[in-house]
Amino acid sequence: MNGKIPVVAVVGPTASGKSALAVELALRFNGEVVSADSMQIYRNVPVGTAQPSEPEKKGIPHHMVAFQNLDEPFSVADYVERAAQCIAGIDSRGKLPILAGGTGLYVRSLLENIQFSEQESNPELRRQLTERANQEGAESLWKELENLDPACAKQVDSGNIKRVVRALELYYTTGMQLEERLALSRSVPSPYLPFKIGLNFRNRASLYERIDRRVDWMLEHGLLEEAEQVLRLPPEITARQAIGYKEFDAYFSGEQTLRQAAECLKRESRRYAKRQLTWFRREKELHWLYVDDFTAPEALFEQAAREVKSFFGTLDTKKEAQVNE
């Protein structure tokens, strides 16, 4: 493997079954899971962020989950630095790192070893953009971002003030679109040899049904209580703008019924899933598995395991022996 660390990445839209597949692969290949989800990093909100429960983890160590306070900033650069440390530790223990999540920018930045610069930060510009967002609304600034950097806009929730502002800050500070910045930041070769599995559905309605069921389950298991906690935060806080919580603003203010708020959350989650798929379809060397091609989850798990074994089995290394155990 030329000294590179083998990494399995399981990506795809929300509610597609990434966490379950990652655990099953970890069980088969002596692995540990590293989350690549920008919301699962937060403490005390396991329901709305779909953090795997202890029974769902099946004894597999999980990293990059529930370690950050809701009101603390956390950037892509922070993620890459911490996740890289986790992967190095997993590899040093002779185990296989398994990356799992739907935040495409996290996955790409980590696996391609994107280098971040302090020059990309401009606090005064950020303050001005935040003031504009509060006055004009995030949607107005998002449309500005869409005109300037369409690819970036597709990855940013139009209602998330902090992320819209950050995206515009990066554009105006560097004068470059997201793809240009990424190209220039690949100055250091990646230390990873990734095998990327993407989960998808041939029938989009099947994915949407899973999303709807997940929202219903969340509401039955404490989502409203979490939303009430999160919505007390200042509007510029990232978690405050996240899908899963901001949709209940109108419910708590008495402008909507709970049913209306829930339908809004389902609709926004479906839109988010479409944006995730748009991002991952552009990823190179992504091996797609269609969940609705399989009659049972176990069949999907077995096919994914065969593909992982086939990929790493072509490489004459100690890790090959581990993967082929």
Binding residues, as ranges, are 12-19
**Residue 314: what pLDDT?**
53
Give the CA dihedral 13, 310, 195, 16, nearest 10 degrees.
10
Q: What does the pLDDT read at residue 323? A: 53
Which long-range contacts (C-beta less than 8 Å, at least 24 apart) are formed by 62-65?
Answer: 62/32, 62/33, 62/34, 62/35, 63/32, 63/33, 63/34, 63/35, 63/90, 64/34, 64/35, 64/36, 64/40, 65/35, 65/40, 65/41
Q: Domain residue spans in the chain?
A: 5-116+186-203+280-323, 118-182
Look-up: residue for tokens 């099947």?
A: 206
Provide the mean pLDDT of the chain. Answer: 92
Of the options 1.10.20.140, 3.40.50.360, 1.10.1040.50, 3.90.79.10, the CATH number for the domain spanning 118-182: 1.10.20.140
The answer, yes or no, to whether residue 113 has pLDDT greater than 70, is yes
Annotated binding-site ranges for substrate: 14-19
91 pLDDT band (50/70/90 cuts)?
Answer: very high
- Whole-number CA gyration radius for the chain: 20
Kindly indicate the confidence band of residue 320, based on its pLDDT and cuts at 50, 70 and 90: very low
Return the pLDDT at 1: 57
Band (pLDDT 50/70/90 cuts) for residue 190 is very high
- How do the residues of the chain divide into helix, strand and coil, expressed in percent and rounded to 5? 55, 10, 35
The two tokens of residue 42 are 């937060």
pLDDT confidence bin for 161, thresholds 50/70/90: confident
Q: At what angle do helices 223-230 and 204-220 cross, to 10 degrees?
A: 80
CATH class (in words) of the domain with range 5-116+186-203+280-323: alpha beta
Residue 199's beta-bridge partner residues?
289
Domains 5-116+186-203+280-323 and 118-182 share a fold: no
8-52 tens-digit pLDDT? 999 999 999 999 999 999 999 999 999 999 999 999 999 999 999
* pLDDT, position 311: 94
Binding-site residue positions for ATP: 12-19
The pTM assigned to this predicted structure is 0.82
In this predicted structure, the answer to whether residue 309 has a pLDDT above a threshold of 80 is: yes
pLDDT in tens, 114-152: 887 665 678 899 989 999 998 998 899 999 999 999 999
* H/E stretch holding 8: strand 5-11
